[in-house]
Amino acid sequence: MSNVIAFVSIKGGVGKTTLALETAASLVNEYGKKVLLIDANFSAPNIGLYLDLTTEETLHDVLSGVGLNLAIYEAHGIDVVPANLDHFDKADIFKLKKIISKFKARYDFIILDSSPNHEELKPVIAAADRIFIVTSPDHVTLLTSLKAAQVAKRQKTPIEGILVNRIRSPRHEYDISQIEKISKIPVFAKIPDHKNIARAIHQKTPISVLEPKNKVSKEISNFASALCGKPEKPSGIFKNFLPFKNLFGKEIVNRELMRQDFYRSQL
């Protein structure tokens, strides 16, 4: 399957950076994949800060002519390309697709974090093979986040699905069926809000590394498993019961369908 994946939303604060980082960490440390994580939030990058990276060259330097290999740093097994918080105007953000195309064969996955800025989102979506929309399950955030789908449709980039993040009060939020009905896009993960996300950020370590048994880590692991065609832990029994899909959450069924697509792509 195509391996350049972007996490997008036209709304700040929904957790794109966290999910991009956590998915990368899970793919690397649980499933043995080689992953390049790129901070393509050009005007307000965060990944370097999340991981406390000390950098000389960044994505902005690459977009201005420096070789990409000079801007790759390692953190928790992930190859990371941070961006410059004090960005400069001469960087051509529309070179992103061409630059990463030369590195696609070196990695199982290239994961792009993105900006909520509409104009900055365009080159990220153009560079991606497929996108996942990140939203929280409230009315305002969902409808705003779905504007990213409109950008993707105009650019003819496949919209793989939705990741519902920061679920806090299910009684007062959209459920998965409602989100799919409104968006007409499948949901692949429902990730609860958790106080230890703040602890992970404070310790500059992905929560999937810090607390692999945390319920946030487990759901991200399940999502990552579907991306790379691995069974969900611990037993991966869901595929045996797919005909009885009403027994399971819709997101589990959607992940299994994506997993089967991965299997078919390898034939």
pLDDT single digits (tens) 70-98: 999 999 999 999 999 887 667 889 999 99
* Residue 15 counted as domain residue: yes
Distance CA 238, CA 231 (A): 8
Cis peptide before 234 (omega within 30 of 0): yes
- Quick check: is 202 in a domain? yes
- The predicted structure's pLDDT at residue 88: 63
Pull the structure tokens for residue 238. Answer: 């869901």
pLDDT value at 187 more than 60: yes
CA 142 to chain centre: 17
Q: Over the chain, what is the mean pLDDT? A: 91
245 confidence band (pLDDT: 50, 70, 90): very low
Q: Give the number of other CB atoms < 10 A from CB of residue 153.
A: 12
Number of domains in the chain: 1
Residue 194 sits at φ, ψ, to 5 deg, of -150, 135
Alpha-carbon span 189 to 162, nearest angstrom:
7
Q: At what angle do helices 215-227 and 16-29 cross, to 10 degrees?
A: 70
Residue 261, domain member (yes or no): no
Q: 190 lies in a domain?
A: yes
What percentage of the chain reaches a pLDDT higher than 70?
92
Question: Which CATH number belongs to the domain containing residue 217 in this structure?
Answer: 3.40.50.300
**Cα–Cα distance for residue pair 156/63, rounded to 1 Å:** 24
Structure tokens given for 230: 């691995």
Cα 39 to Cα 15: distance, rounded to the nearest angstrom? 13
* CA dist list (Å): 198 to 80, 84, 189, 191, 194: 21, 23, 20, 15, 8
Q: pTM for the complete prediction? A: 0.92
Separation CA 114–CA 100 (nearest Å): 15
Residue 222 is assigned to a structural domain of this protein? yes
Residue 7 has what pLDDT? 98
Is the residue at 11 inside a domain?
A: yes
136 is a domain residue: yes
Domain, as residue range, for 67: 4-229
3-state secondary structure of 266: coil
Percent of the chain whose predicted confidence (pLDDT) is above 90: 84
Tokens of 213: 């048994």
Query: CB 120: neighbour CB atoms within 10 A?
Result: 16
Neighbour order of strands in the sheet with 4-8 = 73-75, 78-81, 35-40, 109-114, 4-8, 130-135, 159-167, 187-192
Please give the C-alpha separations between residue 147 and each of 11, 36, 121, in angstroms, as whole numbers. Answer: 9, 26, 11
Task: Provide the pLDDT confidence category of residue 165 given band limits of 50, 70 and 90.
Answer: very high
Is position 203 within any domain? yes
Assigned token pair, 206? 């992905």
Cα-based distances in Å from 197 to 26, 232, 266: 15, 22, 35
In the structure, what pLDDT confidence band is assigned to residue 246 with cuts at 50, 70 and 90?
A: very low
Band (239; pLDDT cuts 50, 70, 90): very low
Q: How far apart are CA 145 and CA 135, in angstroms?
A: 6
Q: How far apart are CA 131 and CA 10, in angstroms?
A: 13
